[in-house]
Amino acid sequence: MLTIDLRGKRALVAGVADDGGFGFAIAKALAEAGASICLGTWPPVLGIFATMLERGKLDRALALASGGKLAFERIYPLDADYDVAADIPAAVRDSKRYRDLGDVSIGGLAERLAAEFGGQCLDIVVHSLANAPEVKKPLLETSRHGYLAAVGTSAYSFASMLGRLGPLVRPAGSFLAISYLAAERVVPGYGGGMSSAKAALESDTRTLAFEAGRKWGLRVNAISAGPLASRAASAIGDIEGMIEHCRAASPIPEAITATDIGNAALFLSSPLAAGITATILYVDKGYHAMGVSGDASPTCRPL
């Protein structure tokens, strides 16, 4: 029987601040296979997340199938808008939620990991980060600032993480990002430049796979996930409507779960996927393959 054994491996999952999103599900799946887990969490929500953990509010979600409990090796403050400390504006650096956290940039994260664990200390890096300040605006109404902010946080940060964390990942390691079908299809309501950001993320995944593969022997993939009613997704608007539409139209008429994404990420991050890189894996119950709704009457016939 083929099994996934990640004992002795260390994963960094960036973009976890609660137990309801893809990042948490991926962290849990990797831990179930034996990996030790470090997190990167956005500073404005870090305190709330830490408090929930300390007070046992997440204990049920942290329970592992083995009977143990998911424990995070480290939780680092991470603001993926900034590549190095010098990029962080003084107003942000000196604000209440940042001033005691030190260097929260991507470069700062790399330095902390190297200082605490040494040189090549990672095996798996997961980018579960996305943000668009104008996500509820149609693209026609999105400002240049909002558009570039969406692309910077949601796409460029993946390239930045690879550039700065790549040297810390052992050969045959894995980088993984989370994308969405709006990268290649029109999804009304998914605005503010987010569709453009996901398209950039998927294009970058292929280019980075070549560059990181040749330079460090690393694999780089992305999962195109179906919609999930996470706390972060609530910013989009009618997320429940999007989920119901996808469920009704898909070959398997079910909504995806965070566990579906966690299990797919576990596979892609494991030695069983050693031959897979530069790939966008759809995990959406087959919705991406549909041309019309699965329950619609045919409007044309073959000749």
Q: Which of 82, 180, 282, 287 is catalytic?
A: 180
Rounded Cα–Cα distance for residues 72 and 38 (Å): 6
Rounded Cα–Cα distance for residues 140 and 20 (Å): 31
Establish whether 180 is a catalytic residue: yes
What DSSP assignment string belongs to the chain? ------TT-EEEEES-SSSSSHHHHHHHHHHHTT-EEEEEE-HHHHHHHHHHHHTTTTHHHHB-TTS-B--EEEEEE--TT-SSGGGS-HHHHTSTTTTTS---SHHHHHHHHHHHH-SS-EEEEEE-----TTTTS-GGG--HHHHHHHHIIIIIHHHHHHHHHGGGEEEEEEEEEEE-GGGTS--TT-TTTHHHHHHHHHHHHHHHHHHHHHHH--EEEEEEEPP---TGGGGGS-HHHHHHHHHHHSSS-S---HHHHHHHHHHHHSGGGTT--S-EEEESTTGGG-SS-TTSPP-----
Beta-carbon contacts of 140 under 8 Å, excluding residues fewer than 6 positions away, are none
> In the numeric block, which tokens belong to residue 97?
């939620």
Q: Which of 82, 190, 282, 287 is catalytic?
A: 190
Backbone Cα Rg of the chain: 19
Strands 280-283 and 10-14: unpaired
Residue with tokens 């668009």: 132
Active site residues: 180, 190
